[in-house]
Amino acid sequence: MLCRIAIPVPDLTRYANYADVLLALGALPMGVGADVDAAGFDGLLLPGGGDIAPSRYGQADVGCVYVDPALDEMQFAALNAFVKAGKPVLGICRGHQLINVYFGGTLIQHLAQAATHSRGDSSADKVHATTAAPGSALYNLYSAVFCVNSSHHQGVDRLGEGLVVTQRSDDGVIEGMAHAHLPILCVQWHPERMCLAHARQDTVDGSAVVKYFLERCARG
């Protein structure tokens, strides 16, 4: 039976990269809203996108772009449902940051080293090296040092409660986290743009982390 993966977005067709990878790996992606019932799904994927409203982490807006409060509301509500149900969650880029804010953390609204991490005026992702924490899922999947893509200008600042840093870039940006007790994993990079038809020679295979998430989902 296919794992049913909820993706809280207004229009799933605009997030085809995520849906395509899930389908290719044997899962069923489904667009959901704020009222999603986690009981009907095996896991939650929080995709990339614009910035989270800084009021969510107690700050004034000093560097955010493409803020969508309605999307924030939808995704925070969906995450809350899956956290309460104890079901697996995978956060990607914006999803990584949203998970941190949900657990009470804060964000850096514009990284000092954004030029290394953000596309800027280019249509191509940046690529940089990272280091994974020994014993973490990312370390077990990819070893200690590996390259990932990058397309973000914000980053995790103060960690949310229960979250553990599992990966950093060479310049210190938090690139991966996991929850100490819940089946939650998140990455600042875009695995859906590093695998299958989008596989690249200068990064690891992003499908490995998605497979890991789906294996967790399949365990129930």
The catalytic site residues sit at 93, 190, 192
Q: What angle do CA 26, 134, 150 make, to 5 degrees?
A: 60
**What's the burial of 149, exposed, middle or buried (CB within 10 Å: 0-12/13-18/19+)?**
buried
DSSP 98: H
**What is the amino acid identity at position 174?**
I
CB 102 within 8 A of CB 80: yes
Residue 110 Rama label (left phi>0; alpha psi -120 to 50; beta): beta
Look at the alpha carbons of 138, 4, 94, 196 in this order and tell me if their dihedral is positive or negative. positive
- What are the phi and psi torsion angles at 177 (to 5°)? -145, 160
State the virtual CA torsion across 130, 54, 85, 34 in degrees, nearest 10: -120
User: Counting every residue, how long is the chain?
Assistant: 220
Q: CA of 55: how far to CAs of 35, 47, 96, in Å?
A: 22, 20, 17
